[in-house]
């Protein structure tokens, strides 16, 4: 597994895609902070939809090239099992996506300190509650990564990964909004808006909405990992 991770990481570090992805997101965070008085938590946590797009980019860079260029059979022919290959790329996706998220949080906080903005945002709770919200949202990022990796290994095409990922997350948001108009009492089960609401971790009257959001993330994480492993282990490599 570690040989696979090392090989993929070497390819990423000697290319331009990962650096461009990180630079664009971090520059966007800096731009929002510099052009307004938005506290650090809001900059990163409220823009979760944007973060999902960059997760897609990272997963694409890790998983899609071997399928697009038809060389996915090479590591398998060299003795690596399909499950090892899958789990190695899943783990690498987790690390790189969480690293980007962590760097964005640190950058926003650092710029807040530099510009003299208050780190605490009284509209969303105490610093400890904000930290808990960041932690919960980072778990949702793992679920989004796992979903992207599963789509990539089931579809085996980069273009299909992009289309299905966008349709799944954005489509669920539209579906939840439309259904909520018909059934106002319907609990929010949307992955995207639920993840963004974790910004208000300290403002919920109870833990029930938080556990519901995390349960949605857990379903995405578990279902995508099991399904992706099962299908990729048995399917024909294109």
pLDDT range class, residue 40, cuts 50, 70, 90: low
pLDDT range class, residue 134, cuts 50, 70, 90: confident
Q: What is the pLDDT of residue 216?
A: 87
Q: Which residue has the tokens 């399909």?
A: 82
For the chain, percent of residues with pLDDT exceeding 90: 31
Q: Reduce the DSSP state of residue 125 to 3 states and report it.
A: strand
Angle between helices 208-234 and 82-115 (to 10 degrees): 140
Q: What is the pLDDT of residue 76?
A: 74
* pLDDT mean over 68-74: 79
205-230: burial string, b at 16+ Cβ within 10 Å, e else = eeeebbeebbebbeebbeebbebbbe
Domain ranges, ordered by start, for the chain: 2-234
Query: What is the phi-psi region of residue 183: left when phi exceeds 0, alpha when psi lies from -120 to 50, beta otherwise?
Result: beta
For the chain, percent of residues with pLDDT exceeding 70: 84
CA pair distance 94, 146, nearest whole angstrom: 8
**Contact between residue 136 and residue 213 where contact means Cβ atoms under 8 Å apart:** yes
Q: Which residues pair with 121 in a beta bridge?
A: 125
CA pair distance 172, 216, nearest whole angstrom: 12
**Contact between residue 225 and residue 90 where contact means Cβ atoms under 8 Å apart:** yes
Q: What is the pLDDT of residue 125?
A: 60
| Predicted confidence (pLDDT) at residue 130 exceeds the cutoff of 90 | no
**Contact between residue 190 and residue 52 where contact means Cβ atoms under 8 Å apart:** no
Q: What is the pLDDT of residue 218?
A: 92
C-alpha atoms less than 13 angstroms from C-alpha of 18 in its C-beta half-sphere: 19
Worst-scoring range by mean pLDDT, 24-28, 36-40, 67-71, 196-200? 36-40
CA pair distance 79, 115, nearest whole angstrom: 54
**Tokens encoding 107:** 């950058």
Q: What is the pLDDT of residue 55?
A: 93
* pLDDT mean over 157-186: 80
Q: What is the pLDDT of residue 16?
A: 93
| Predicted confidence (pLDDT) at residue 214 exceeds the cutoff of 70 | yes
DSSP string, 20-61: HHHHHHHHHHHHHHHTS---HHHHHHTTHHHHHHHHHHHHHH
Q: What is the pLDDT of residue 26?
A: 92
CA pair distance 218, 145, nearest whole angstrom: 12
**Tokens encoding 51:** 């973060």
């Amino acid at each position: 597994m570690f040989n696979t991770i090392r090989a993929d990481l070497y390819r990423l570090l000697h290319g331009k895609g990962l650096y461009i992805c990180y630079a664009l997101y971090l520059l966007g965070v800096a731009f929002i902070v510099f052009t307004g008085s938005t506290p650090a938590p809001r900059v990163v946590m409220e823009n979760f939809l944007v973060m999902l797009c960059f997760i897609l980019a990272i997963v694409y860079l890790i998983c899609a090239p071997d399928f697009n260029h038809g060389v996915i059979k090479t590591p398998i022919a060299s003795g690596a099992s399909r499950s090892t290959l899958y789990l190695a790329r899943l783990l690498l996706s987790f690390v790189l996506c969480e690293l980007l998220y962590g760097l964005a949080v640190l950058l926003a906080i650092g710029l807040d300190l530099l510009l003299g903005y208050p780190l605490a945002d009284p509209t969303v709770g105490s610093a400890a509650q904000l930290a808990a919200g960041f932690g919960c949202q980072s778990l949702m990022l793992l679920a989004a990564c796992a979903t992207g990796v599963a789509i990539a290994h089931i579809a085996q095409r980069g273009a299909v990964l992009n289309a299905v990922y966008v349709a799944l997350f954005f489509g669920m948001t539209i579906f939840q909004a439309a259904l909520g108009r018909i059934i106002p009492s319907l609990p929010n089960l949307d992955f995207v808006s639920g993840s963004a609401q974790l910004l208000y971790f300290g403002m919920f009257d109870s833990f029930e909405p938080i556990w519901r959001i995390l349960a949605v993330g857990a379903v995405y994480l578990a279902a995508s990992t099991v399904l992706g492993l099962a299908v990729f282990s048995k399917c024909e490599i294109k």
